[in-house]
A = this chain, B = another copy of it.
Amino acid sequence: MAVNKYSRQREAIKEYLAHTKEHPTADTVYMNIRATYPNISLGTVYRNLNLLAEQGEIIKLNCQDGSDRFDGNVKPHYHFLCNNCGRVHDIEMESIDHINKIAGAGFDGKIEGHVTFFYGVCPDCMRNE
């Protein structure tokens, strides 16, 4: 696979991810794209999601609940998993890259970065209680 050729399906996936904050799974993406492309194949969805993630156009989240989810927002930000409804929210916050140094203090290897998930109760679920 040398150079990308345009495809409506891939474009639709990118477009869909750019306009949702839902952090959908591959299957959810599939369901939603089918509204416009009724016979898109699930394989196509998987292939394009992975392709886009490799190229840095989207982010593949290895969620703490075990599922893989996708995020069209590639600006650095953190994620929050609601223990109640299971949804993933974005968190805009100042950098916490200093924790790499803290970790490095007790470790002989080279720490290049970290992945952090916060969890708790999301705003929506707090209201409904």
Which A residues contact B (CB, under 8 angstroms)?
A: 62-66, 68, 78, 80, 82-83, 89, 91-94, 96, 99-100, 102-103, 105-123, 125-126
Contacts and interface: CB of A to CB of B under 8 A. Distances in A.
A99 B93 CA distance: 10
Given A62-B62, A93-B102, A119 B108 contact: no
Given A66-B62, A96-B99, A110 B115 contact: no
A118 B93 contact: no
Contact of A120 (B63, B80, B109, B120): B109
A112 B126 CA distance: 13
A123 B105 contact: no
